Structure formats: C-alpha cells, structure tokens
Amino acid sequence: MPGFRTYQAIDQAISATDVTIDSVLPAGNLAAGMAWSHFTGYLELVLPELAQGIKKSDWFNDNPGHMPLCLFMLLPHSGRSTGKLGDDDRDVEEVGQIEIIINHRPYSPKVCKVTERDKNGHIKSEYFCVAQYPGAFCALGTIKEEILCSFTKTQRDVEVQRFYHYLNEILNHEKYKQYGVLTKMLMYDDEEKGESATISYQLRKGVHDVIRNQLEKAAEGVKKTEETEHYRDEVCLLYHTKDTKLVFKVKDHLDKNKIRYSQARPASSGERMGDSLSEIERRVRDARWVICLSRSHHKKI
C-alpha cells in the first residue's frame, strides 16, 4: 500500500470528491495472493513428485506417447469449476488419480481420459493426462456470485487474467523454472458457445502441444548427443612453439570449464620435436572447433 500506513490515512485521502478508492488502493493483490497460495501450498509440493508418479502409472506405461509428464490447469473465464471433470463433456472422463505422499499427507491429482474423435464422431484416439481446476482460482467464480461482494463480471475477468499472468510469472522465474516445464495453463472462455469452450477441446489441444514439445526436445537431445559423439574433442589448439605462454593461458581456461581439447604443434624449421602433418590433420578433424594461435596475436596480447 504505497504511501499509506493505515486505513485511516486512506479514508482521509478519499474524503475529497475528486479522489476515488481505486486511485488510492488499486486492485491487484487478490489474484496475486491466490496465485502464490496455489503455488506454495500445492504446486511446489506436488510437482517434484508428479513426473515419477505418472511414469509409474499403468496409464503411462500402457499408452506410450499418449500421456505427457505434465499437470494441466484449467482456467475458465467464469472462474468456476464444473465439479467432477467430464460431468458435462462426453469426451473427458476421470479414470483415477496419482497417489503422492508428502510429509505423511496424501495428494491425489486426478487422471483424465480424453477422447479424440474423427469428423464422423467415431473414436480416433485416447489420451491420458493429469488435469484439475486450481482450488484457489475457482474462488473467483464464487466471489462473483456472492451478492454482498459487489464483484462485477469485469472485475472477475480482470482477476482471471491476473491469476494467469502472476502464476505464469512464478513458474517461469529462474528460481522455479524446473516447475514450469511440468505445467501447462489452459485459459479459455467457457461462457461462449462453440467447441473451444469445452474442456475436451482444451485438454486435447494442450496434450498435443505438450507431447509435441517433449518429443522435439528429446530429438534435440539425441541430435546434440550424436553431434558431440562425432567429435573426439571440443577444441584443438593449433599453435607455434613461440606461443607457449599464450597456450598455457588458454589451456587453463579450458581446464577450468571442463572442455575437452587436444594440441597440435607443427615442428619449426630445423626442429626435431613437433607433431607430424598427418597427426595434426587427425586432431583438427576430430575437434569441433580449432583455435589457431599465431606469433602476431601473441605480441598483441
């Protein structure tokens, strides 16, 4: 509450006719508090155990590639839950839960089966996911319906957006980024008509997006591993005998950063020591990068 120590001070400040409560005490802490409450009271506890819980489940092992390691959070514009997921959507069904025990307290994230149909309505595929309405978030819909609260639809819509952005900011913060990769928020307008207003549409789209992203990351990891294995060393130091002092500095930097390297030094004129041309070619070929050190560079340094 910048600039005001007590509510009496606020009351005095708004006594003038040209001052409003919104200008003195703007809204914003409601959604922020709800987002932090959901994160510290639930997500921060459950997410570290969720991936292993999913991997141990029959749904994950019996349906390879059809159950992402992710918690889907449904954020409808109304701020209200439908109770049991799938009660009003034939393509979503609660089939069980992931059992997680933290400090002797049980947590049971719900597992849903999401059905995908072809244009004729026939079952095309089935996916499984952990999904829920954040408990703190759904209080927004309840507040809107309470007559004494004077919480308008516009205010509710603003707080829904704020909740999404606050929680997204928390999950993508450097300190908590390990949790962000295990979650996906699905914000949608459930008060409009159409397929996009249904839970099944949002979950199908979310599951497809997460599975695709996880497969792409896995492929990138394999490609990176293959590229790394293709080279014996990350760096080859190619230098002249006069560059020995500079080489020591470069080697010290590479050692500190645990970077694999090789050395290649051609023999000087009339010198018996030094690497043969064939050996130099091999070391250069087996390295991802080559650092060429010359006497001229040595003088500049």
Query: How many alpha carbons lie under 13 Å from residue 209 in its C-beta half-sphere?
Result: 15
Q: Judging by DSSP bridges, how do beta strands 92-97 and 110-117 pair with one another?
A: antiparallel
Is 238 exposed, middle or buried, given 0-12, 13-18 or 19+ CB atoms closer than 10 A?
A: buried
Is 263 exposed, middle or buried, given 0-12, 13-18 or 19+ CB atoms closer than 10 A?
A: middle
The pTM of the full predicted model, rounded to 2 decimals, is 0.65
Q: Residue by residue, what is the 3-state secondary structure of 220-250?
A: HHHHHHHHHHHCCEEEEEECCHHHHHHHHHH
How does pLDDT run across 137-192, given as a tens digit for each residue? 888 877 766 655 667 788 888 888 999 999 999 999 999 989 999 999 999 999 88
The number of residues in the chain equals: 301
How does pLDDT run across 201-234, given as a tens digit for each residue? 999 999 999 988 877 776 666 556 555 567 888 8
SS3 content of the chain, % helix, strand, coil (to 5): 50, 20, 30
Statement: residue 12 has pLDDT above 60:
no
Q: What DSSP string runs through 250-261?
A: HHHHHHHTT--E
Give the pLDDT confidence score for residue 6 in this predicted structure: 43
Cα–Cα distance, 114 to 97 (Å, whole number): 14
Give the residue from 35, 71, 65, 28 showing the smallest Cα distance to 50.
71
Residue 114 CB neighbour total at 10 angstroms: 27
Statement: residue 263 has pLDDT above 60:
yes
Q: Answer yes or no: are the C-beta atoms of 229 and 117 closer than 8 Å.
A: no
